[in-house]
Structure 1
Amino acid sequence: MSPDEMETRIVRYGDLKPCRTAFIDAHTPGSDQKENFTIIGGGVSESPDQHVHIKDTPGFNIGAAGQPPKCRNSLHSHKTAEVFYVLKGRWRFFWGRWGTAGEVVLEEGDIFNIPTGIFRGFENIGTDYGMIMAVLGGDDAGGGVTWAPQVIEDASDHGLVLGENGVLYDTKKGQSLPDGIRPMPLLSDEELKAYPEPGNSAVVRDYVARYWDLMALAANSPCKVIGEAGLLKDRPGFEVEFLTRGSIPDTNYTLNCHEILMVVRGHWKLCWSGGEKGLAPGDTCAVPPGLEHSLVPSMSGEASLYRVLNTQDQAGPTWVG
């Protein structure tokens, strides 16, 4: 593989292209300044304006959300895994029908494997623009997003209508639902009973890992964060590992699965027989199966990254509470 070919498999943080109309709450006050990024795969955006950096999926999707302080992502649910780690800032994640069942605050580097089947939302509670990186289960990311009823109602008051085809229509731009397409129906009270309301203790204990704990656990070898044998035991269709300067392989290695490298801190160098590439915080690199390569920090100081590997497990629900 040539350096130019490898560059097409790297999405640089500085090259990320945002979509500001990705979801139904794009006009709702308090949520109208958020930016959605689709890095690998189509993600779950409801907007035709969403730019996709790498279309081929390795069995899961990679995305990101960027928000200024006090900006909120509205309550929604997924059928497959939604994993976030904080790249920049300080974030509050909350869940439940009204977002009051529980909450947790994540700092830079922390990771949250949000249980499927619950409504969840998040907001930037830091002082600067923040960024969270996401891994979504399945090639089609589980078929999209299910919104809490009040989110759809609020959006309609501000000009956005979601069709039952999963596409947004902006009445402020003169758009309307096409013939034969009805609005997305609201979940009934009976349907809402299927969405659990777990408290803080079980969710934080079983689905959250802290950056500095991972730094210690990965001091000498990669730390398995999400997976059947992971710190957060789960089988969402992919595995997540955490690597630091002391836990990288000593020699070249080859994997028979897709390997996605997501740099948290420090600068790294990816080397293979055809060349080498530098990776910086916020960069995402899709290493193809079967490529012999090495990975080393290129500078002194703190260095860490998440590595996502596809598995043979079928993407599906992860909530076990």
Structure 2
Amino acid sequence: MTPQDMEARIVRYGDLQPCKTAFIDAHTPGSDQKENFTIIGGGVSESPDQHVHISIPHGFNIGAAGQPPHCRNSLHNHRTAEVFFILKGRWRFFWGEHGDLGEVVMEEGDIFNIPTNIFRGFENIGTDYGMIMAILGGDDAGGGVIWAPHVIKDAKAHGLVLGDNGKLYDSKKGQSLPDGVKPMPLLTKDELDKVDKPTPMDVIGGYVRRYLDMEALGRSGKPVKVIGENGLIRDKPGFEVDLITRESASDKKHKHDRPSVLMPMHGHWRVDYEGGSVTLAPGDTMSVPENLMHSAVPSMTGEASLYHVVATDDAAGATWKG
């Protein structure tokens, strides 16, 4: 692996290319300032304007959402896993068809493995531009997004219509549904009744982990298994997530039989690999090729942590409740 080849597998935070028309709520007041990013994989965007940084299949997708204060992402559902960790800012996550079944406030480094089959949304409640990083199960990210009925109605009132082909049409640009394409149907009452309605205790206790708690565990000298069959969050969403800290990092090279991803949270990290070396900063995303010997260690003093993601053979939508 040459340094040039490896650079093509690194997406720097400052080079991220946003899409402001990715989803149906792009014109809806309160959600119209969102920026969506597809870093690895095809993502779930409904817009052809979405830029894909790395299209190599990994068994999962990596994306991000950037939002100014008080901007929110509308209530939606996924058929596969959706995991977020907070890179910058302070965020409120809420769930239920109307967002009134529960909520949790999350700080930088916190991680949320959102269960499948629930409506969820999120809002930047900080005082500055915030960024959350996302891991989506499967190479096709589950075939798209399922919107709460009121989101589709609100979007239509502001000029955006979602076709049953999963594509957006903007009447403000003179677009209309093509022949043979119908509006995306609203979920029926029977379909809505089948959507899960977990309590705050179920969600927060089972699917949220705090960064400070995980960082403390990492001082033991071993990487923290955050999501996995034997993780702090005992789930099998089609990938595993570890938190590696300064104390648990090792300069001993290792490899995986499938691509893996390194996503620094704090500090600068030196990644040595067969063919060269590179330094990553918070917000950067690095795709490590399968079977490439590599190691990652902090390159400067101070707090250092990164999230490590690798696919498993589990179904991308499986939720295992132990």
Name the TM-score, length of structure 2 as normaliser: 0.98
Aligned residue in 2 for 1:171: 171
> Aligned partners of 2:283 and 2:72: how far apart in 1?
21
> Aligned partners of 1:56 and 1:255: how far apart in 2?
16
> Aligned partners of 1:299 and 1:242: how far apart in 2?
18
Matched positions, count: 321
8 A Cα contact 1:79 1:317, kept in partner:
no
Matches within 5 A, 1:69-80: 69-80=69-80
Matches within 5 A, 1:1-321: 1-219=1-219, 220-318=221-319, 320=321
> Aligned partners of 2:68 and 2:258: how far apart in 1?
36
Q: Deviations over 1:24-68 (max 9, x none)?
A: 000000000000000001110000000000011210000000000
8 A Cα contact 1:115 1:319, kept in partner:
no
Counterpart AA for 2:263: M
Paired residue secondary structure (1:182): coil
Deviation (angstroms), 1:312: 1.1
Query: Mind listing any 5+ residue stretches in structure 2 that lack a counterpart?
Result: none
Q: Deviations over 1:277-297 (max 9, x none)?
A: 010000000001111111110
> Aligned partners of 2:77 and 2:321: how far apart in 1?
15
Paired residue secondary structure (1:252): strand
Deviation (angstroms), 1:217: 1.0
8 A Cα contact 2:30 2:72, kept in partner:
yes
8 A Cα contact 1:24 1:168, kept in partner:
yes
Name the TM-score, length of structure 1 as normaliser: 0.98
Deviation (angstroms), 1:257: 2.5
> Aligned partners of 2:231 and 2:12: how far apart in 1?
28
Deviation (angstroms), 1:319: 7.2
Deviation (angstroms), 1:320: 4.9
> Aligned partners of 1:223 and 1:18: how far apart in 2?
31
> Aligned partners of 1:16 and 1:279: how far apart in 2?
14
Q: Deviations over 1:57-115 (max 9, x none)?
A: 21000000000000000000000000000000000000001100010000000000000
8 A Cα contact 2:114 2:207, kept in partner:
yes
8 A Cα contact 1:117 1:317, kept in partner:
no
8 A Cα contact 1:262 1:307, kept in partner:
yes
8 A Cα contact 1:117 1:196, kept in partner:
yes
8 A Cα contact 2:235 2:321, kept in partner:
no
> Aligned partners of 1:300 and 1:58: how far apart in 2?
32
CA-based RMSD? 1.0
> Aligned partners of 1:56 and 1:155: how far apart in 2?
33
8 A Cα contact 1:117 1:319, kept in partner:
no
> Aligned partners of 2:319 and 2:101: how far apart in 1?
18
> Aligned partners of 1:48 and 1:78: how far apart in 2?
20
8 A Cα contact 2:234 2:321, kept in partner:
no
Deviation (angstroms), 1:199: 1.3
Paired residue secondary structure (1:206): helix
> Aligned partners of 2:320 and 2:75: how far apart in 1?
17
> Aligned partners of 1:201 and 1:19: how far apart in 2?
35
8 A Cα contact 1:84 1:135, kept in partner:
yes
Counterpart AA for 1:244: T
Counterpart AA for 1:151: V
Counterpart AA for 2:315: Q
